[in-house]
Amino acid sequence: MSANLFGQRLQMMSFGESHGVAYGVVIDGFPGNVPIDTKLIQKSLDRRRPGAQSYTSARNEADQIEVLSGIFEGRSLGTPICIIVRNLDQRSQDYKTIKTKPRIGHADDTWKSKFGHADHRGGGRSSGRETLTRVIAGSLAQQLLKKVAPKLKVTVSIDQIGSHKIKCSPDQLPAKIIKLLENAKANGESYGGIASCHITGAPKNLGQPVFHKLKSDLAAAMLSLGATTGFEFGGGFESVGLKGTEFHKSMKSKNYGGIRGGISTGEDIEFRVAFKPTSSIKDTAKKGRHDPCIVPRAAPVIEAMAWFVLANHYLWSKTDQL
Amino acid sequence: MSANLFGQRLQMMSFGESHGVAYGVVIDGFPGNVPIDTKLIQKSLDRRRPGAQSYTSARNEADQIEVLSGIFEGRSLGTPICIIVRNLDQRSQDYKTIKTKPRIGHADDTWKSKFGHADHRGGGRSSGRETLTRVIAGSLAQQLLKKVAPKLKVTVSIDQIGSHKIKCSPDQLPAKIIKLLENAKANGESYGGIASCHITGAPKNLGQPVFHKLKSDLAAAMLSLGATTGFEFGGGFESVGLKGTEFHKSMKSKNYGGIRGGISTGEDIEFRVAFKPTSSIKDTAKKGRHDPCIVPRAAPVIEAMAWFVLANHYLWSKTDQL
Amino acid sequence: MSANLFGQRLQMMSFGESHGVAYGVVIDGFPGNVPIDTKLIQKSLDRRRPGAQSYTSARNEADQIEVLSGIFEGRSLGTPICIIVRNLDQRSQDYKTIKTKPRIGHADDTWKSKFGHADHRGGGRSSGRETLTRVIAGSLAQQLLKKVAPKLKVTVSIDQIGSHKIKCSPDQLPAKIIKLLENAKANGESYGGIASCHITGAPKNLGQPVFHKLKSDLAAAMLSLGATTGFEFGGGFESVGLKGTEFHKSMKSKNYGGIRGGISTGEDIEFRVAFKPTSSIKDTAKKGRHDPCIVPRAAPVIEAMAWFVLANHYLWSKTDQL
Amino acid sequence: MSANLFGQRLQMMSFGESHGVAYGVVIDGFPGNVPIDTKLIQKSLDRRRPGAQSYTSARNEADQIEVLSGIFEGRSLGTPICIIVRNLDQRSQDYKTIKTKPRIGHADDTWKSKFGHADHRGGGRSSGRETLTRVIAGSLAQQLLKKVAPKLKVTVSIDQIGSHKIKCSPDQLPAKIIKLLENAKANGESYGGIASCHITGAPKNLGQPVFHKLKSDLAAAMLSLGATTGFEFGGGFESVGLKGTEFHKSMKSKNYGGIRGGISTGEDIEFRVAFKPTSSIKDTAKKGRHDPCIVPRAAPVIEAMAWFVLANHYLWSKTDQL
């Protein structure tokens, strides 16, 4: 399995660097003859675009998808689907100073150490911009599942920004949070947060024994995202304090998070992801683009990865029995 | 990638069911000519054995390893290493009732639903006993790393049992916790907990871009364990409340957990794993064996999986540059 | 993908060395609830056993299979199936001289060079005995396909032994060939040969685009066998001399070998495999066991690998469309 | 492992259809900091371009590579390298008739049957044009190996066209063969052929036990090419008639083809590939482009795949020992 490949039955190979020509993704294992609406993919991308809100980074790219292969006359060909998005607004001169001075909390130096060579204009593969390949893949996964699990829904909400516990849609932050983030943006401050993901209508039998339990693959998917620091599902860290007789009240307890023995039960699946404060603060952020909190923009990416994991396991489950 | 295979460069294929003939593991990709002391493997296994304490399950199996291949005259052959452990104490008559009535919180029914057939004597692949294959693989990984990273240490401690926040070695629980667990065992009660893992002396450059970040692979490894419900590293869920200027105090902040951009920095790596209360409570536990809290016994398994992930990434890093 | 793993949907991990404790194989991806008759596996193994004929090696091992996991009450569990065969007749003292002097045509020295350590008693993983893991896996694959493609048949015949072109079943060699091989065995001589494999009743749509064409996977399977030196299917090397208008007479031409664009068409599949003369000749063979021609014993192994490739692609084809 | 992915340590994901927007390839696992000259990649591509000779297809495309990722300032970044080539000359109107009538010997119908949907303009993934992704990948592999195995050379020559046994460079066909092919092109006739590949200066220890023997991976690589029908190495099919005492004359016999026990020995590696007559004959070829013999154009593709297999195994061998 390669470093930039995700999934076992449905697979995505992601490529591209922040200051390179384009980001892109190749989806292999996508069944043939599935109706695909590329406008829906574009729409998903538009959701994660920066610059849409007062409190997000000003980097403003059209992020137009370009389908290179795998789709013909509105249906999948069963061949690998490659979709790219060009990097238009590269503004690399802003990043020149990085060449000599690593930015705090960023990964510029670790990548350079590892591979012996790095794009000194910053970010590279570890840029948040890489996640647009996930969103493209997730939209395709969603369109695949639409046919076989029409009631399946994946929704992300925000549970916490900084120290503020909230419960809102990532598209409708409360006024006080917007204020907080606008101030942060102005002052070179940043905040972390927690997002929760709710999946309803998922087929049962998703997940594989032992090393590809659904919880394990969801965790791997979420922790493959840049600023994440934690994953929990069902009862998670909080329910640790419960006695067994409280935790295991019924076979349908929410504490199970819709997964037992690593396999989806048909109940609602629920997991939460922690994000650290973005690294782009103060001095280091001055000249680059600055997102004071990544959580609202991460929401569509979490959804996308969840769709992808579900689609991967759906295809996998087709060989559980003859 | 198959369902029962873990790792990309060092790979373990695990097999065996709770009431079958044997558990075992095949390790592929293990370099040749590495000194291997099979007594160390046995010793690791002995640590996770149930029945060693007053508060653990009474299932008492010798768990003797049997090396079938891959090791000759104390050194690895570069061929797959297969090691098995026979199931001696199968006591299957105790489990007969399970055939008709699924046990609460267990996975008997989900597996049956998925594969159309299950061992009605219970547990199957989702038994905690499967983890002995991890411990064997982890011991081999540790011996591999001994030569190339002699200062590398992996230690697990327990941070919480039930609602009790503690900080102790899994082998030396405080008296009050032992009491708690003895009572739980007697009364069919159970508790969850949190274990933390500290890794010192790890080489830097471990972890691969994007989908095999070290954090992602550690999360997948830990969430592949039976009763786990959460994973966090570095600052984790708690540090979400910090401002960026607090979180990112220095390039060596503990909040990074020794990983930046998904890659080990050479600093200490630290992560935590949440476990739910064991499912074997009350009625359902009556006739099976009962562990009132899995966390102490999970400690050597967490260590083993951490060793394995590190060894996998160590081998992987050998091709980062020519 | 690991060195000792074969297949993408149905996967076999093979382990064991010639003078180790046991050979074995773990089959992962085998669907649940498939009826499995372990006596059929044993029967397949008996076919490839040496010592059954006057002209084969005298190494006589019972080769009793031992099922360690994955099968319960005559049906597959959906969990990995591990089956081992112990090495009883190790006679390692016969091989002592090898320690200092590599045997001509054998791989003892290449393996030692590669892994820095080798079993000086000879053979190791490159022993023909490793193929028993293939036969076990092939028998399981055959039982899987019995349910879904009941008319599917795989038959191997021998087309050539040494310079003698024949056409016979591997179990019924002509008298003159038996004589030839008996003489060869007595005199430390050896012969190569060609086996052909005929597959009838195969489902269409087996094979995947580009890198897992059915012909490519069959070639890889056959060339993974010890003494093989060539693979051809359909018209093969001989039909190279035909003009296109001769070669492409009809869509069902035998020249296509039942495969077009890498995918099975439902027509008969036919391929041929070349084997070099065995390396165990004269001096080097004196003390080891001596097979003057591997082709008759290879026949059941070719069949087994063909079954396995077909089963792998059958499972794979289940996700061609939703 | 996915259908369109080749390699275990160095991996290429190929995408694109004959009448789609572009062909492309993503190379993952390419080490960082390797000097890369993209002009050499373009040069390799130019070699396989049709329309260069009087006897090849008239489809004339610039086939300009476009590097999307993975290379920065003349060196690899350790990130996935994506390179695409746009399909400029799509001329799809010529292919309209294919929609209703499958072309003899082509795979249009098998792909349609498999995936339920196909590009009726013909070719799709099974077009010979797909091989440009191999040539790109092979050039990168060659540049990787230049640093570590500077004496390594891969050369393809043509041994047979139709029934004519020759021995020439693919770039310098004898006059009588050029005449033969010009006539064939005019008359809608076609020919097959045999190409042989000679590898000198290869490192020893390339190849992995059992399922990734060097011979097995080379066979898989060659049989993944469109019109191939056979593969043999060393003595191949012809040496089958030799007695063992003739075949095994010395440890460095050419009959071994530079591979023993599946592993390169440092001796010259030699293998041969059979190609069937191209399918584009007579009526079916009228409106499409017509190549009367694919062998000369296949030569650079064989070289490319050989380079790729060698580079993959070179990287793999880095973990043979610690």
Contact predicate C113/D267, CB 8 Å: no
Residue C252: its pLDDT value, please? 86
Q: Is C29 on the interface with A (CB under 8 A)?
A: yes
Chain B residues near residue D8 by CB distance under 8 angstroms? none
Q: Work out the angle at residue D132's Cα, subtended by the Cα atoms of residues D120 and D149, and round it to the nearest 5 degrees.
A: 155
pLDDT single digits (tens) C295-308 = 999 999 999 999 99
Label residue C121 by pLDDT band (50, 70, 90). Answer: confident
Q: Is A2 on the interface with C (CB under 8 A)?
A: no
Tell me how far apart the alpha carbons of residues D75 and A119 are, in angstroms, rounded to a whole number: 10
Beta-carbon separation of A13 and D29 below 8 A: no
pLDDT single digits (tens) A27-39 = 999 999 999 999 9
Task: Please state, rounded to an integer, the average pLDDT across all residues of chain C.
Answer: 90
Label residue B119 by pLDDT band (50, 70, 90). Answer: confident
pLDDT single digits (tens) B141-154 = 999 999 999 999 99
**Rounded average pLDDT over A176-184:** 95
**Rounded average pLDDT over C69-93:** 88
* Nearest residue, CB atoms, C104 vs list D113, D209, D248: D248
* Nearest residue, CB atoms, B2 vs list C28, C31, C118: C28
Helices (H), C5-82: 38-48
Tell me how far apart the alpha carbons of residues B270 and B259 are, in angstroms, rounded to a whole number: 9
- Residue of chain B with shortest Cα separation from D210: B79
From the candidates A127, A211, A281, which should be mutated to test the interface with B, based on the most B CB atoms within 10 A? A211
Q: Best-predicted range by mean pLDDT among A127-136, B290-299, C45-54, D137-146?
A: D137-146
Nearest CA distance, D43 vs chain A (angstrom): 22
Angstrom distances, CA of residue C184 to CA of C162, C175, C191, C289:
11, 14, 8, 13
Share of chain B above pLDDT 70, in %: 89
Tell me how far apart the alpha carbons of residues A237 and A258 are, in angstroms, rounded to a whole number: 16
Task: Please state, rounded to an integer, the average pLDDT across all residues of chain A.
Answer: 90
Tell which residue, C260, C195, C211, C204, has the closest CA to residue C234. Answer: C260
Which range is least confidently modeled, B17-26, B103-112, C225-234, D193-202? Answer: B103-112
Chain C touching partners, 3 or more CB pairs below 8 A: A, B, D
Label residue A103 by pLDDT band (50, 70, 90). Answer: confident
**Rounded average pLDDT over A267-278:** 96
Tell me how far apart the alpha carbons of residues B253 and B230 are, in angstroms, rounded to a whole number: 23
SS (H, E, C) C178-228: HHHHHHHHHHCCCECEEEEEEEECCCCCCCCCHHHCHHHHHHHHHHCCCCE
**Which of the pair, D285 or C186, is modelled with greater confidence?**
C186
Residue B286: its pLDDT value, please? 52
Tell me how far apart the alpha carbons of residues C228 and C234 are, in angstroms, rounded to a whole number: 18
Size of interface B-C (CB pairs under 8 A): 160
**Rounded average pLDDT over A271-295:** 78
* Nearest residue, CB atoms, D235 vs list C209, C276, C316: C276
Strands (E), D50-189: 65-69, 71-72, 75-77, 81-86, 153-161, 164-168
pLDDT single digits (tens) A215-229 = 999 999 999 999 999
Tell me how far apart the alpha carbons of residues B125 and B128 are, in angstroms, rounded to a whole number: 8
Beta-carbon separation of C29 and A319 below 8 A: yes
pLDDT at B97 over 70: no
pLDDT at C100 over 60: no
Residue D57: its pLDDT value, please? 65
pTM: 0.95
Beta-carbon separation of A29 and C319 below 8 A: yes
Tell me how far apart the alpha carbons of residues C7 and D44 are, in angstroms, rounded to a whole number: 32
pLDDT single digits (tens) C222-257 = 999 999 999 999 999 999 999 999 999 888 889 999
Nearest CA distance, A106 vs chain C (angstrom): 32
* Nearest residue, CB atoms, C209 vs list A9, A34, A79: A79
pLDDT at B98 over 70: no
Tell which residue, C12, D94, C216, D76, has the closest CA to residue A125. Answer: D76
Alpha-carbon Rg of chain D, whole angstroms? 20
| Chain A residues 75-94 with a CB less than 8 Å from chain D | 75-82, 84
Structure tokens at C141: 């694959």
User: D159-184 b/e with 16+ CB inside 10 Å = b?
Assistant: bbbbeeebeeebeebeeebbebbeeb
pLDDT at B61 over 90: no
Beta-carbon separation of C21 and B124 below 8 A: no
**Rounded average pLDDT over B130-134:** 95
Residue B2: its pLDDT value, please? 82
Largest CA distance in chain A: 61
**Which of the pair, D282 or B98, is modelled with greater confidence?**
D282
How many helices (H) and strands (E) chain D has is answered by 8, 15
**Rounded average pLDDT over A137-146:** 98
Residue A291: its pLDDT value, please? 83
Nearest CA distance, C111 vs chain D (angstrom): 8
* Nearest residue, CB atoms, C322 vs list A1, A29, A31: A31
Residue C321: its pLDDT value, please? 97
Which range is least confidently modeled, A185-199, A282-296, B57-71, D174-188? Answer: A282-296
Beta-carbon separation of B13 and C14 below 8 A: no
Tell me how far apart the alpha carbons of residues D6 and B196 are, in angstroms, rounded to a whole number: 39
Residue B47: its pLDDT value, please? 84
Beta-carbon separation of D265 and C110 below 8 A: yes
From the candidates B143, B319, B320, B321, which should be mutated to test the interface with D, based on the most D CB atoms within 10 A? B319
Q: Best-predicted range by mean pLDDT among B52-66, B171-185, C122-136?
A: B171-185
Strands (E), B113-264: 153-161, 164-168, 193-200, 228-233, 259-260, 263-264
Beta-carbon separation of B77 and C115 below 8 A: yes
Q: Is B133 on the interface with C (CB under 8 A)?
A: no
Chain A residues near residue C148 by CB distance under 8 angstroms? 322
pLDDT at A157 over 60: yes
pLDDT averages per 10-residue partition of chain D, 322 residues: 91 95 97 98 85 62 90 96 88 52 75 90 79 97 96 98 96 95 93 98 94 98 97 95 91 90 95 92 58 93 98 98 96
pLDDT at A86 over 90: yes
Tell me how far apart the alpha carbons of residues C212 and C204 are, in angstroms, rounded to a whole number: 15
Q: Would you tell me the crossing angle of helices D38-48 and D295-317 to the nearest 10 degrees? A: 140
pLDDT single digits (tens) B208-249 = 989 999 999 999 999 999 999 999 999 999 999 999 999 998
pLDDT at C170 over 60: yes
Residue B104: its pLDDT value, please? 73
Residues in chain D: 322
Chain A residues near residue C81 by CB distance under 8 angstroms? none
Which residues are C156's β-sheet partners?
A: C197
Say what the ipTM of the complex is: 0.94
Tell which residue, D143, D150, D206, D163, has the closest CA to residue D293. Answer: D163
